[in-house]
Amino acid sequence: MDKMSKEQRSHCMASIHSKNTKPEILVRRYLFAHGFRYRLNHPRLPGHTDIVMRKYRTVIFVNGCFWHGHEGCKYFVLPKSRTEFWQAKIERNRERDLEEQRKLAEMGWHCITVWECQLKPKVREKTLQSLEYTLCHIYLEDHKVKRYEMQEEERVMAAEPDVEKK
């Protein structure tokens, strides 16, 4: 059974916001401090993207482990009361997340998900450095110079020696 009254639980759950969460602010501060620029919650993209980086054609979702059902995470535990409601709600969130990421991928966007548990103090620096590395890799792959190989017969020098002189 729940330790809080129905009114207390309602007030507690209503105070949880979906924008400007502590994990999201951690990621944004790190990115900005390392020279990455971004937009927040871009209205023209499908879904609720947290961070949009147009230069990298990348969107970053900063997900809470409980609200998005992070499997195998100690922070994702279904409540003991109203289990069916919470199971259905979290399953809808997962399905919506997958659908949004599928639409973004079809539009040519890269999708990165950072979980709340990956931003805990013990692993935070490693996670953020990995994110930085991934963004740099995406940029380099997308802006790679394409080299075309020419057939041997097609190669012509600009100033060829005059071979017909006797």
> Per residue in 99-120, pLDDT tens?
999 999 999 999 999 999 999 9
- The rounded Cα 112 to chain-centroid distance in angstroms is 2
Q: Give the CB-side neighbour count of residue 44, counting CA atoms within 13 A.
A: 5
Strand ordering across the sheet containing 39-40 = 39-40, 51-53, 58-63, 110-115
Per run of 10 residues, the mean pLDDT along the chain (length 166 residues) is 66 62 91 93 83 93 89 85 88 94 94 93 94 92 73 60 60
Tell me if residue 166 falls in helix, strand or coil: coil
Give the domains, in start order, of the chain with CATH numbers: 15-138 (3.40.960.10)
pLDDT digits (tens, 9 = 90+) for 86-102: 899 999 999 999 999 99
Q: What's the whole-model pTM score? A: 0.76
